[in-house]
Amino acid sequence: MANQKLITYLVALFSLIIFYSIQNLSRSFSWRPDLVDYILPVTILAFFISVIFSRTKYSDFPTVFVALTRTTAVGILFYLIVEPPDFTITNPERNTLFLFVNWGYWIAFLAAVISIWRPSYLYFVAYYVMGTRYVVEEISGFTMSTLDIVYMMEMAQFLAMSACGITLISALTKQGKVGSLARILRYIDLPLLAVCVAFMAIGFHLGNYFWSGVAKFYLGPQPWSWALENSTHNLILGALKRGVLPSGSLPWVTQLLFDGSRNVIWISNILIVLVQIFAIASVLMVRWLRLAGARNVSRIVSPLG
């Protein structure tokens, strides 16, 4: 039993290494400006991988894995609804990428709906969302940050790939012929592996929050400059301009929200820094982890970013 747990933990760690190796490889072929044309075939490949593992079902996994993965799927679907990619093409030579963003949206939207029942489709949807951020400069001539969504999308891809991998291992161990590979794979505790994957995925965000909090201490001449001088309430104006502010059709509500945020902005900024710095400590209590999970979803669906 102890050996089985150790092997399972090592497989979980190995899966994380494999995941980031695949991420780095895909980025080297599609995220660089001189290789951005590769993003379309790589995204198509991600779609076919999702389809191949479409028989992967949530019912095959532990509750914590299901809750996290399905909540992530709902969050990304909501993101696609409230903030679809809406780019203006200024470079006619990039019309193919422009069509990829526009037509790909509807395929990604449908896949996001399916991902609520079939986790494998999360991989393609997350890849598409990230891809739109990287090609916008080629299409419209301006850049968009990926920091607000990158960890949520990587979390979705990691959960989806892990679900596919666990399904594959389960299928191999159930084969009639007991080969050497099947005997080795049977040492893996698949439910425990799924739980490990779920908590590592949460760790993506906890680490992101922590280092984001640390970085804020270096963004000004003094460690407290970001908290006391950064006008984060102007995010409301950005959301209003993009047309994703829920109160945008009610000017008096928007004005009230803006004025109220401006009056307590330094308190809000201090709380943000404290929450980010101490986010990593949430691994010590399940209740704190639940709050961190709620923050993960709210961050991706919030129109304020």
- Per-residue pLDDT tens for 72-112? 999 999 989 888 887 777 777 777 788 888 888 999 999 99
The whole-angstrom separation of Cα 244 and Cα 83 is 7
- Lookup: tokens for 199: 């908590």
Residue 196 is assigned to a structural domain of this protein: yes
Q: pTM of whole model > 0.85?
A: no
Please give the full DSSP string across 139-208, using - where no structure is assigned: HHS-----TTTHHHHHHHHHHHHHHHHHHHHHHHHTSSS--HHHHHHTTS-HHHHHHHHHHHHHHHHHHH
pLDDT band at 119 (very low <50, low <70, confident <90, very high): very high
Asked if 153 and 15 count as a contact pair (C-beta separation under 8 A), the reply is: no
The answer to whether position 297 is within a domain reads: no
Give mean pLDDT, residues 127-143: 79
Asked if residue 27 belongs to a domain, the reply is yes
Whether residue 214 lies inside any domain: the answer is no
Q: How many domains does the chain have?
A: 1
Residue type, 56: T
Look at residue 115 and tell me whether its pLDDT is greater than 60.
yes
Q: Assess if residue 267 is contained within a domain.
A: no
Residues 177-215 have pLDDT tens digits of 556 666 677 788 889 999 999 988 888 877 777 877 888
Residue 156, in any domain of the structure: yes
Whether 281 maps to a domain, the answer reads: no
What is the C-alpha to C-alpha distance for residues 12 and 194, in angstroms, rounded to an integer? Answer: 8
229 found inside a domain: no
Statement: residue 257 has pLDDT above 70: yes
| Residues contacting 160, CB < 8 A, separation 6+ | 50, 69, 115, 119, 120, 121, 122, 123, 126
Residue 17, domain extent:
2-201
